[in-house]
Amino acid sequence: MICVSINYKKADADIRGKFVFDRDKQIEISHSLSELGVSENVILCTCSRTEIYACGDITEEDIMSVLSQASGIADIKQCAMIFCKNAAVNHLFRVACGIDSMVMGEDEILGQTRDAYKEASERGSVSHELNMIFQSALACAKKIKNDTSLSGVPVSTATLAANEASAFGEKILIIGASGKIGLSTLKNLLAHKNVDVKVTSRKHIPDVGEKLREKITIVPYEERYKYIDGADCIISATSSPVYTLTYDKITESITSDKPRLFIDLAVPRDIDENISKEKNIRLLGIDNFEKLSKNNSEIKLSAREKAEAIIADETETLRKNMTMQKFLLSAEKAKKALEEKGLDTLVYKLKSELDAEKFEAVINVISDYGKE
């Protein structure tokens, strides 16, 4: 397996925004990979990473070429990370459980990884190998979530944004609350007391449940600028390819002189970053929350160590299972060859091909098997 990853470690929000692909684009990318010799592929696309996991007769250069064409960026080597074979498997496990996230232990990535795998399955781009790998990674991530406190400390992007907003002021305007991050932020906000939340809507009303819906005010998306002056904090988290809030219209809308916090949780950006130059305005982008998460890092260190140990055990088990599956496909031929050539021939072959430690381990297993 090969994984090509464009993530927050080597690519800022502006670069990552070029790799945010909708479902139709992902299907197109998947077809392009198939034409190049990829037998299986899964495309994971979030605000902090876009990754392609692929199996087949293909190189990382081929995958980067497809990503380059899809993103419009000619040379992506400077912003891409490459993982191959066992390293790719280990990377997937770390991604799924949240260890590799911008905010370590965040909850959203497990569901996003599951959705990416499900969509790949539905379009027929996964079979035996990726099925085993992704199912094992998802099961491992769930075990880590249940058995450690890695995700128990509130550090997800949505939680951090909600905490920051509620601490700043009571009157909050959310643009894009029907999307995953926006909806999660809204739910986290409504867990705080004494917040007055207005939510813009075009057609879809945020699915927060009847009780929580009573706590929010729905306003038309087209009238969003009318509510900026009365808000203490404005949060935007849409999938729009253009700004939802522009500098000129924001400054025109503000008439009262008070501090305001703008939080942009979108990739590409929703809010014109020039607004941060204005007096009494603070703008936080999605990358800022990596810094905010550091306050909880100490709490998570022991949980991370335990999670890493679980990953090591689970990936070891997966490798054994995959090796066994491959062996079973040729077991009859191997059994026949052993009967014809004898055990001695096999032992000498193992001696010539394995290092001393591995050879000793295999001989011990064979010897112990003979005593049973």
More confident residue, 372 or 296: 296
> What is the third-level CATH fold of 157-287?
Rossmann fold (3.40.50)
Same fold, 2-147 and 157-287: no
Residues 263-315 pLDDT 10s: 999 989 999 999 999 999 999 998 887 677 666 667 777 888 999 999 999 99
Measure CA 1 to chain center.
18
The pLDDT confidence band at residue 49, using thresholds 50, 70 and 90, is very high
Is 2-147 assigned to CATH 3.30.460.30? yes
Instruction: Write out pLDDT tens, residues 315-325.
Output: 999 999 988 88
Give Cβ neighbours of residue 268 (< 8 Å, ≥ 6 apart): 13, 14, 17, 20, 241
* Higher local confidence (pLDDT), 300 or 221: 221
CA–CA dist 207, 146 (Å, integer): 26
Give the mean model confidence (pLDDT) for residues 129-136.
95
pTM comes to 0.69
Is residue 206 very low, low, confident or very high in pLDDT (cuts 50, 70, 90)?
low
> Is the confidence at residue 211, as pLDDT, over 70?
no
Residue ranges per structural domain of the chain: 2-147, 157-287
Give every CB contact of residue 205 below 8 A, 6+ residues apart in sequence.
178, 213, 218
Percent of the chain past pLDDT 90, that is, above it, reads 62
Q: Which residue has the tokens 């992902």?
A: 26
